[in-house]
Amino acid sequence: MRELVLTQPGRVLVGPSERESESCRSHGEFEERLAECGPLAFRVAYGVLRNAADAEDVAQEALLKAYRNFGRLREPARFRGWLVRIAFRMALDRWRSAKRREKRETEWKGPERSAVGPTVEELAVSSEFQERLERAMEELPEKFRLVLLLAAIQGYTLEEVSEMLGIPMGTVKSRLFFARKQLAEKLR
Amino acid sequence: MNCERYKEKMVEALARGEGAVHGELAAHVRACGACREFYEAQVDLFGAIDFGVRVMVNETVPASLLPGLRARVAEDGVARQPRGFTWGVATFAVVAVLAVSVCLLRRGPGNSSRVVDRSPVVAREVDGPHSVTPRQPQVVAAAPIHARAQHEVAMAPQVGAAAPEVLILPEEQAAFIRFVTDLPEERKAAVALTQPATEAKDEAVEIALLQIDELDLKPLESSNQ
C-alpha cells in the first residue's frame, strides 16, 4: 500500500521525547518570566478591580491561560504585552459581572442596603476623591484606561508601555493625553 | 487670545504632562489673576489624578500569587492529561476515516486494478491534444514514488486538476504514528479500520419473556379507609 502523506517542505516530525524536552524548555522560559510578569498582571488587574483577592485570582487565571498557550506563542518577546491584555480583559469581565450582580442585589433589597453605612475602614481607605477618580476611570475607553494604568505602574517607562502593547510611542502619548484630559474634565 | 483659550492651552499642557507653561501662556498666567488661580487649581487636580492612579495600580503584590499560580499550573497539568488523549483519539479517527475512504476509492467499480494508472494518459497524448481521458480518482503523494510515476505526473497535469486530492496534515500523520507505536493494544484496531468491513446480515433476535416469581401487591393506604 502506498503511503498517502503530503508533508510540508521544511517541517520535521517531532518525536515524543523531543516534544517533552520542548515542553520542559517552554516551561523553564515561562518560569523565568513569572517573576516580572506575575506582579505586572496583578497590578493591571488591581487597577481595574480595586480588590486584592479578586486581582490575585484574575492574575493567576491570566497567567495560567498564558502558560497553556506559551508554547504556541510565535514571538516570545511579545509575552508581556500579551499577558497584560489578557489580564486587563479578564479583570474587566469580572468587574462587569460584579457590577451586574451588585445592581441585581441593590434592586432586590434596596431599602435594607441603604440603611447600612460604610465601615470605618472603607471610609479611611477610600476618600471621596479616590471614589470619584475610580468612577471616572471606569468611564474611560478601554484603550485609554489600559495605557493610563500601565504608565502609572512603578518602573515602567512610556517606551516600555509602547513596546509592551506593540503600538507607536506617539499613540501611547496621545492615549495618555486624552485619558488625563477626560479624567480632569470629569473631576473638575 | 481670550482667557478661555488660554485655559484650554493650560489644560492641554498639563494633560501632556508638562510641568510648567512657557512663552505667551506663561506670561498670561503671570498677568491674569483668574487664569493663575485656574492654573493652580488644574495643577493640583492633575497631581491628584496622577497620585490616585499610581495608588490604584501600585498595590503590594500578595506573596501567595506565584505559589498559588504554580499550584494551579500543576492541577491544570493533571486535569489536562485525559483531554490530550481524547485529541489523540480524535486525530486517529480522522486519519482512519481517511484511510478507509482511500481504500474504498481504490476498490471502486471504475478502478478494478489501480488508482494511479497513467499509462492510458500517455498513450492518448500521442493521439492528439484534444483527446478525452476518463476521469479517475487520483491520489497525490509526496511520499517516494518511482521514477516512471514521477515522469507521468509531469506529463499529465490536466488529469490531476480534475481528480480529488487526499491531504493529510503532518500533525495528523505524527499523531497516527505515535498512536500506532505507543499503544500496541490499539494496533489491531488501526489495521482493522483500514480493511473494508464485511457485510453483516440482519438476524432476528429472540428475547425471553420477563418472568416474576413472586409478586406481592399491597393495597394503598387510602383504599383501607
Among candidate residues A89, A60, A84, the one with its CA nearest the CA of residue B73: A60
Residue A170: pLDDT band (50, 70, 90) is very high
The pLDDT tens digits of the residues spanning A118-149 come to 444 444 345 788 888 999 999 999 999 999 99
Q: Which of B64, B145, B178 sits opposite A16 (nearest CB)?
A: B178
Distance from CA of B132 to the nearest CA of A (A): 27
Most confident by average pLDDT, A96-100, B76-80, B132-136 = A96-100
User: Does the pLDDT value for residue A112 go beyond 60?
Assistant: no
| CA separation, residue B58 to residues A39, A122, A180, B61 (Å) | 10, 19, 18, 8
Interface of A with B in 94-133 (CB under 8 A): 129-130, 133
CA angle B121, B101, B161 (to 5 degrees): 35
**Residue B55 contacts A where some CB pair is shorter than 8 Å:** yes
Domains defined along chain A, listed by start? 20-116 (1.10.1740.10), 124-188 (1.10.10.10)
Q: Are residues B51 and B92 in the same domain?
A: no
Q: Which phi-psi region, left, alpha or beta, contains residue B39 (left: φ > 0; alpha: ψ -120 to 50)?
A: alpha
- Give a yes or no: residue B160 inside a domain: yes
- Structural element, H or E, at residue A127: none
**What 3-state class would DSSP assign to B2?**
coil
User: Does the pLDDT value for residue A10 go beyond 60?
Assistant: no
Question: What gap in Å lies between CA A62 and CA B96, rounded to an integer?
Answer: 37
Distance from CA of B30 to the nearest CA of A (A): 22
- Give a yes or no: residue B93 inside a domain: yes
User: Does the pLDDT value for residue A55 go beyond 90?
Assistant: yes
What is the predicted pLDDT for the residue at B220? 80
The answer to whether B112 and A14 have CB atoms below 8 angstroms apart is no
Cell of B70: 504554580
User: Does the pLDDT value for residue A166 go beyond 50?
Assistant: yes
Q: Which of B49, B66, B182 sits opposite A180 (nearest CB)?
A: B49
Question: What gap in Å lies between CA B60 and CA A153, rounded to an integer?
Answer: 12
User: Does the pLDDT value for residue B131 go beyond 70?
Assistant: no
What is the predicted pLDDT for the residue at B108? 61
What residue has cell string 440482519? B202
First to last CA, chain A: 80
The answer to whether A82 and A88 have CB atoms below 8 angstroms apart is no
What is the predicted pLDDT for the residue at A24? 62
Q: Are residues B134 and B38 in the same domain?
A: no
**What 3-state class would DSSP assign to B142?**
coil
The more confidently predicted of residues A187 and A126 is A187
The more confidently predicted of residues B221 and A126 is B221
Indicate the range of A135-149, B2-16, B25-39, B123-137 predicted with least confidence. Answer: B123-137
CB burial of residue B81 (10 Å; 0-12, 13-18, 19+) = exposed
Q: Are residues B87 and B143 in the same domain?
A: yes
- Give a yes or no: residue B209 inside a domain: no
Most confident by average pLDDT, A14-18, A19-23, A43-47, A115-119 = A43-47
What is the predicted pLDDT for the residue at A19? 55
% of chain B surpassing 70 pLDDT: 61
The mean pLDDT value for A53-82 works out to: 85
% of chain B surpassing 90 pLDDT: 11
Long-range CB pairs of B178-182 (<8 Å, 24+ gap) are B178/A16, B178/B88, B179/B88, B179/B91, B179/B92, B182/A16
- Is A181–B72 a contact, with Cβ atoms under 8 angstroms apart? no
- Give a yes or no: residue B24 inside a domain: yes
Q: Are residues B99 and B166 in the same domain?
A: yes
**Residue B189 contacts A where some CB pair is shorter than 8 Å:** no
Neighbours of A46 (CB within 10 A): 28
Q: Are residues B85 and B184 in the same domain?
A: yes
Question: What is the interface size between A and B, counted as CB pairs within 8 Å?
Answer: 140
ipTM confidence score: 0.73
Q: Which of B61, B141, B145 sits opposite A42 (nearest CB)?
A: B61
- Is B141–A68 a contact, with Cβ atoms under 8 angstroms apart? no
- Give a yes or no: residue B130 inside a domain: yes
What is the predicted pLDDT for the residue at A7? 42
The pLDDT tens digits of the residues spanning B166-189 come to 777 888 888 878 776 766 666 677
What is the predicted pLDDT for the residue at A12? 45
- Give a yes or no: residue B64 inside a domain: no
Which residues fall within 8 angstroms of residue A26, CB to CB, at 6 or more apart?
A: A70, A71
Distance from CA of B148 to the nearest CA of A (A): 15
Q: Are residues B43 and B140 in the same domain?
A: no
Q: Are residues B90 and B139 in the same domain?
A: yes
- Name the residue range of residue B104's domain: 81-194
Q: Which of B61, B143, B182 sits opposite A5 (nearest CB)?
A: B143
Residue B14: pLDDT band (50, 70, 90) is very high
Q: Are residues B100 and B50 in the same domain?
A: no
What is the predicted pLDDT for the residue at B113? 45
Q: Are residues B96 and B190 in the same domain?
A: yes
Q: Are residues B52 and B85 in the same domain?
A: no
| CA separation, residue A107 to residues A116, A119, A131 (Å) | 15, 21, 22
Neighbours of B140 (CB within 10 A): 15
- Give a yes or no: residue B199 inside a domain: no
CB burial of residue B12 (10 Å; 0-12, 13-18, 19+) = middle
**Residue A74 contacts B where some CB pair is shorter than 8 Å:** no
- Is A13–B55 a contact, with Cβ atoms under 8 angstroms apart? no
Q: Are residues B87 and B163 in the same domain?
A: yes
- Is B57–A46 a contact, with Cβ atoms under 8 angstroms apart? yes
Residue A76: pLDDT band (50, 70, 90) is low
Q: Are residues B190 and B105 in the same domain?
A: yes
Domain count, chain B: 2
The mean pLDDT value for B91-112 works out to: 78
The answer to whether A111 and A117 have CB atoms below 8 angstroms apart is no
- Give a yes or no: residue B221 inside a domain: no
**Residue B99 contacts A where some CB pair is shorter than 8 Å:** yes
Among candidate residues A102, A101, A85, the one with its CA nearest the CA of residue A48: A85
Q: Which of A42, A129, A137 sits opposite B48 (nearest CB)?
A: A129
- Is B45–A42 a contact, with Cβ atoms under 8 angstroms apart? no
The pLDDT tens digits of the residues spanning B186-217 come to 667 767 777 777 766 677 778 888 777 777 77
Q: Which of B57, B62, B182 sits opposite A47 (nearest CB)?
A: B57
Give this prediction's pTM: 0.55
Amino acid symbol at A129: F
